[in-house]
A and B are shown apart, each in its own frame.
Chain A
Amino acid sequence: MMALIRPPRSLQGRLLLLVLSGVALVWLVTSALTWRDVRHELDELLDGHLAQAAALLVARQAQEMEQEDGHGLDAPTLHHYAPKVAFQVFHEGRLALRSANAPVAPMVGADRDFRSGFKTVQLQGRAWRVFAAHGAERDVQVYVGEQVGSRNDILWAVLRSTLWPMVVALPLLVAAVWWAVRQGMQPIRQLGRLLAERRPQALHPVTLAPLPSEMAPMIGALNQLFERIGQLLEAERRFTADAAHELRTPIAAIRMQAQVALGASDDALRNHALQGTLEGCDRATRLVEQLLSLSRLEAADSPAMDDVDLRALARRVVAELAPRAIGKQQSLEFEGNENGPCVMPGNETLLAVLVRNLVDNAVRYSPPAARIRVTVQRRDGQVMLSVEDSGPGLTEAEQRRLGERFFRVAGSGESGSGLGWSIVRRIAAVHRLAVDVRTSAALGGLEVRVVHDE
């Protein structure tokens, strides 16, 4: 029957249903047990009475046989309960005595062998509980019977007295449980109200007083979520502001160079200014591209990973950037011990961006004629990429600040945005790579190590 009832959707309805079902079940089981016990006790008591009555009748018949010989006597009905009981006394197969409502034939007749004990039989359409007994000489047979229905009446009377209070109590119980559950659910409703009343921008933590212990984890998780969203929004806001500010400088440069070109009195000056204008456009483009790739990186939490041969990838990037280095008369070299590929799990596109940024930084910020060395090696289960140069290097304070968005190293004379490092850090984080910045022992400039631990 429960399966037919759709479980209620409200928590309160659920609790109400569960509590009331439990109460009803306990109540039914109690009733059943009571019924069984009462019935057992009642049977024992009444059966005892039947047996005792039969014993009395047997004794009486034996006495009577010595004194007189009276047959077929009907005993008088003495009590209004009497119709519900009946007895028969047979002497040598003949009916000697019976109650008024008893039949003439033996109450237990079907079974010839039956001489003594209890038996339930059907008489005149009613169930009777009959006790049969016989005298010592086996010439006296006594049957004492009692209507089973009367026993049931007693049973019902007993059960009724226990059931009635429960029936009356049930609606009261429903109301009480409903009220209690409603009170208990109050904090949940309060939380719902609080959340509904919040403005969408509101990210302050939810507070509920008093806070039920069951709801503490929920509220805690909720507040953590609010905090995380707040941090993300803040980072987003800061990033947008920083990006906008960072774009102002190249735009200012473009504008200035264009105005110089407009007001230039000779061709050389005008050409120089126009070149500057173009260079400014290229720089703004590069900045926009870096911003885009950074925001894409921040949006994509887990890019598709594959097995990547870091050595082959680094060699490709070095080949790609070599013309720039040659243009600055720098020597750009690649070194990798050739015992098999240096494979690590990663996203090839992103890793290429990482390596390109590192090598590009080295080329960009090292002076002309500097040496730049890119090394990929596998050692002790680690794959390590190292980019080192013979440039001026960085102070420790500057090394620490690398990777802060838009942090630019002083006096480099190069127009970078400082975004390259943010990108490197971000890609490394996605790949769980350790990035280490130090002074190169071999070349004296900056060394950046990217290590993949297996």
Chain B
Amino acid sequence: MRILLAEDDSLLGDGLRAGLRQLGFLVDWVRDGEAAERELRAQPYEAAVLDLGLPRRDGLEVLAAVRRSGIKTPVLVLTARDAVPDRIRGLDVGADDYVVKPVDLHELAARLRALVRRAHGQPQECLRAQDVELDPASRTVRKAGEAVALSTREFDLLQAFMLGADRVLSREQLEQQLYSWGQEVESNAIEVHIHNLRRKLGPALIHTVRGVGYMLQRDQPRP
């Protein structure tokens, strides 16, 4: 799951990036408001962690601006300001969650997962498609109740497919979900991963739409 982290404090930003990576997030880190806004407009992040006291452009301004332009990326506001009016203002401007520093790493991750789930209209913690079940928290996948071992990339790709179930996703879209900044994208990598997923989970799950992309079908195809 690729998220944007906007935090100007180097130490806290470094910790957040490392911690969220440990928990399986792909983290892009920006340190000021202008960069945060630019990235939010440019990339389809699954979610964003936004500090309010950002240099160059205040976090709330950034949030208001991207919401005005119709960008629906779930945003979790992370701030030192805990007064109720501050929270209300943050939520009113378009924050999806409001967390006061210091925050527990696991709680932050859980809140981010919940935001992403809700954004995709899936209230349950586990994602399901056909007989495959994916648990984002424990990063495990089961097929018909049996655990299936997936690599990190395969897991991330499956999660991206499940979050965007029944929609055709282009190769570029999938790559954006799979790689954060500075990571080399191997040619044919997506095809290789999809091939592996089909091998491990069965051929009926992911369909190829020639010349367009791929689609995960949520329900069992009717015989």
Contacts and interface: CB of A to CB of B under 8 A. Distances in A.
A49 interface: no
Interface string A241-283: 0000110111111111101100111000100110010011001
Given A245-B81, A252-B101, A411 B19 contact: no
Given A251-B101, A256-B12, A280-B11, A409 B55 contact: yes
Interface in A296-345: none
Contact of A410 (B9, B16, B32, B106): B32
Contacts of B18: 257, 260, 264, 269, 272-273
Interface in A187-232: none
A249 B80 contact: yes
Interface string A382-422: 00000000000000000000000000111101110000000
A74 B94 CA distance: 136
B10 A415 contact: yes
A251 B32 contact: no
A260 B15 contact: yes
Contacts of B10: 413-415
B22 A263 contact: yes
A409 B31 CA distance: 12
B14 A276 contact: yes
Contacts of A252: 12, 80, 101-103
B135 to A, nearest CB: 18
What class of interface size applies to chain A in its complex with B? Answer: 20 to 34
A269 B22 CA distance: 10
Interface string B92-106: 000000001111111
Interface in B1-45: 8-12, 14-16, 18-19, 22-23, 31-32
Interface in A8-27: none
B80 A245 contact: yes
A383 B169 CA distance: 70
B149 to A, nearest CB: 17
A276 B102 contact: no
Contacts, number: 87
B56 interface: yes
Contacts of B9: 249-250, 253, 415
Which residue among B32, B82, B102, B103 has the maximum number of chain A CB atoms within 10 Å of its CB? Answer: B102
Which residue among B18, B22, B56, B105 has the maximum number of chain A CB atoms within 10 Å of its CB? Answer: B18
Contacts of A254: 102
Given A246-B80, A249-B101, A415-B10, A265 B22 contact: yes
Contacts of B12: 249-250, 252-253, 256
A259 B81 contact: no
Nearest to B22: A263
Given A252-B103, A269-B18, A410 B81 contact: no
Interface residues of B, number: 26
A279 B103 CA distance: 18
Contacts of B81: 245
A127 B223 CA distance: 158
Which residue among B9, B82, B100 has the maximum number of chain A CB atoms within 10 Å of its CB? Answer: B9
B31 A257 contact: no
B84 to A, nearest CB: 14
A283 B104 contact: no
A276 B217 CA distance: 45
A254 B106 CA distance: 15
B55 A411 contact: yes
A411 B100 contact: no
Which residue among B8, B12, B23 has the maximum number of chain A CB atoms within 10 Å of its CB? Answer: B12
Interface string B75-98: 000001110000000000000000
Interface string A279-292: 11001000000000
A276 B104 contact: no
A74 B32 CA distance: 137
A414 B10 CA distance: 7
Contact of A283 (B11, B14, B56, B80): B11
A257 B12 CA distance: 8
A257 B16 CA distance: 8
B19 A256 contact: yes
B22 A256 contact: no
Nearest to A263: B22
B55 A257 contact: no
A370 to B, nearest CB: 19
A248 B31 contact: no
B3 to A, nearest CB: 15
Contact of A255 (B8, B14, B32, B104): B104
Nearest to B100: A248
Given A249-B9, A252-B12, A260 B19 contact: yes
A255 B102 contact: yes
A245 B9 CA distance: 14
Which residue among B10, B19, B104 has the maximum number of chain A CB atoms within 10 Å of its CB? Answer: B19
A278 to B, nearest CB: 10
Contacts of A411: 31-32, 55-56
Interface of A: 245-246, 248-257, 259-260, 263-265, 269, 272-273, 276, 279-280, 283, 408-411, 413-415
Given A410-B55, A413-B31, 15 more contacts: A245-B80, A248-B102, A251-B102, A252-B103, A253-B9, A253-B12, A255-B105, A256-B12, A257-B18, A259-B19, A260-B18, A408-B8, A410-B56, A411-B31, A411-B56
21 contacts: A245-B81, A248-B100, A250-B9, A252-B101, A252-B102, A253-B11, A253-B12, A256-B102, A263-B105, A273-B15, A408-B8, A410-B8, A410-B32, A410-B55, A410-B56, A411-B31, A411-B32, A411-B55, A414-B10, A415-B9, A415-B11
